[in-house]
Amino acid sequence: MSMNKNTKMTDSELARAFTWEGISIPKLRSAFMGQVIGPEDEDYDTARTVFPGGIDRRPAVIIRPVDDNEVSLVVSLARQTGLELAVRSGGHSGAGHSLSEGGIVLDLSAMRGLDIDVDGRTAWAEAGLTAGEFTQAAAEYGLATGFGDTGSVGLGGLTTGGGVGYLVRKYGLTIDSLIAADVVTADSQVRRADAETNPDLFWAIRGGGGNFGVATRFQFRLHPVDSVVGGMLILPATPEVIAGFVAEAEAAPEELSTIANVMAAPPMPFLPAEFHGKLIVMGMLVYAGEVEAGLRALAPFRSLATPLADMLRPMRYP
């Protein structure tokens, strides 16, 4: 069967083309403008590598669609073949949802469109963008949306997972800034979801769990964020320091968001060698406001103990 690239096929055409007898990579390539990667391809192992360690799954095929129509086609392919469908944005899922063993991986990384409305303080962003890419672009206008704590995380999983990051106290979760989304549902239809259109679907993708569809594009509210005061503060993890950190975080003004990890110190180059492997509090703090007020808000954390490393300073938000 011959197929024109980027032409939407019907379910029956798809079934005839891809009846499951082992994935036909050449047939798939003829149907997609986006990249199709199979187990025999040189970049297969790189394409199936995800951020969390210990996840080693071998999908039958990895498809990187270029638009909603191709996402819809991948969803149809999964439905017709009965293969498990995994959706990947940035590949940071700790539970391994970014990969499938023997199934189809829908990799959104080629969908990276971004349209910023500076006057309206909103942005439409495709789900293959990373939090860092979005943040860098929005910062050119002194604006930001609160995402997670790592720039390489993809917007898709981060947003539908809630999104806890450095602006959470000031501006809420990522989903609190979500205005609308385009979602490809299991019937391969592209649906707009917002407070007025498909409101149940809009509720579902803002904390309702998973498997409601593939979110391909998000509209976010942007907030004024320019310079911040923050960075990493490493303290010894004594019971007093841990309890004090929690108490100070609870008492802090809403401009200050804190993320604390109680952990064995990795061999970070700025940490003296004698502390490697010792239990530490690795605090990451961001004050979204004036510098002097930020320094005052951070002072109680610095006084909990003699810091093992103090990288708190004024900086641009990105």
DSSP secondary structure, the chain, as one string: ----TTPPPPHHHHHHH--SSS--HHHHHHH-SSEEE-TTSTTHHHHT--SSTT-----SEEEE-SSHHHHHHHHHHHHHH---EEEESSS--TT-TT--SSSEEEEGGG---EEEETTTTEEEEETTSBHHHHHHHHHTTTEE----S-TTSBHHHHHHT----TTHHHH--GGGGEEEEEEE-TTS-EEEEESSSSHHHHHHTTTS-S-S-EEEEEEEE-EE--EEEEEEEEEE--HHHHHHHHHHHHHS-TTEEEEEEEEEPP--TTS-GGGTTSEEEEEEEEE-S-HHHHHHHHHHHHTTS--SEE--EEEE--
- Burial (CB count <10 Å: 0-12, 13-18, 19+), residue 66: middle
At CA 248, angle to CA 224 and CA 265, rounded to 5?
95
pTM for the full model? 0.90
pLDDT tier for residue 208 given thresholds of 50, 70 and 90: confident
pLDDT tier for residue 6 given thresholds of 50, 70 and 90: very low
What pLDDT was estimated at residue 10?
56
Domain 227-316 matching CATH 3.40.462.20: the answer reads yes
What pLDDT was estimated at residue 18?
52
pLDDT digits (tens, 9 = 90+) for 247-302: 999 999 999 999 999 999 999 999 999 999 999 999 999 999 999 999 999 999 99
What pLDDT was estimated at residue 207?
85
Q: Same CATH topology for 114-224 and 227-316?
A: no
Q: Where are the domains of the chain?
A: 11-110, 114-224, 227-316
φ and ψ at residue 249, rounded to 5 degrees: -65, -40
Domain 11-110 matching CATH 3.30.230.10: the answer reads no
What is the share, in percent, of the chain residues with pLDDT greater than 70? 93
Query: Chain centroid to CA 234: how far?
Result: 26
Is 2 a residue whose pLDDT tops 80? no
What pLDDT was estimated at residue 5?
46
Are 145 and 174 within 8 A, CB to CB? yes
What pLDDT was estimated at residue 11?
52
Is 4 a residue whose pLDDT tops 80? no
CATH number for 114-224 (one of 3.30.500.10, 3.30.465.10, 3.90.1150.10, 3.90.105.10): it is: 3.30.465.10
Q: How many CA atoms lie within 13 A of 177 on its CB side?
A: 29
- Burial (CB count <10 Å: 0-12, 13-18, 19+), residue 285: buried
